Amino acid sequence: MSFEQCQYVNALMGKFSKTWFVAGGWAIDLYIGEETREHKDIEMAIFRKDQLHLKRYLNDWDFKQVKKGKFYDWGNEFLELPVHEIHATHKLNGERMEVLLNETVENDWKFRRDLRIHAPLNSIWSVSETGIPYLNPEIVLLYKAKNTREKDHQDFFIIKDLLNNKQKQWLRNALELHEPEHKWLELLI
């Protein structure tokens, strides 16, 4: 099947000089190599430190920051936690995209909901056979573990047996810290 939305973002970000990757359900599908369900939107992620580079790069887009579920204009201020979500709309064609800010400390990625959970920066994303960077599935699933929806469970069941032992163990350890009662834990064997 087609990865049209992912290909669009990949072309859009082709000359962006900072790290970026597809996130959410699309990242799961990129890992598998096929579309497994319908996706209503696309999420991409960048490191928080690169947010103003992105805003300059996408200068023909309007940006809104999300605070407690409400949208506010984003000027040129540096967005700090708890803001982690930005919505972008192309000024001419109305294309939409969600941008998720990821935390880093030196050479580590940090899980914003629980800073005890981390991973080396170079281990959190991969690149598909078609050249599209995506957030690794164990990281995506960790984000999906809070307030898990039906599509999140669907993503978990599609991917769980495709994770290698290292990925399963990392996710298990992270869930034990962050969501110790989560029902996925018993399935990560």
Q: What mean pLDDT comes out for the span 94-120?
A: 95
Give the percent of the chain with pLDDT over 70.
99
Residue 51 identity: Q
Report d(CA 44, CA 100) in Å as an integer: 6
Residue 64 contacts by C-beta under 8 Å, 6 or more apart in sequence? 71, 72, 73, 74, 86, 87, 88, 89
Mean pLDDT of the chain: 95
Distance between CA atoms of 10 and 86, rounded to whole angstroms? 18
Tell me what the mean pLDDT of segment 29-49 comes to: 94
pLDDT over 90 percentage in the chain: 94
**Section 69-94 average pLDDT:** 95
- The pTM of this model reads 0.93
Q: Burial letters for 35-60: b for 16+ Cβ neighbours within 10 Å, e otherwise?
A: bbeebeebbbbbbbebbeebbebbee
Q: Which residues are CB-neighbours of 128 under 8 A, at least 6 positions away?
A: 3, 6, 30, 31, 33, 134
Q: What is the pLDDT of residue 2?
A: 67
Out of 3.20.20.70, 3.40.640.10, 3.90.870.30, 3.30.460.40, the CATH code matching 4-142 is 3.30.460.40
> What pLDDT is recorded for position 41?
87
Domain boundaries of the chain, sorted by first residue: 4-142
pLDDT of residue 109: 97
Q: Is the pLDDT of residue 1 over 60?
A: no
Phi then psi for residue 2, to 5 deg, are -85, 145
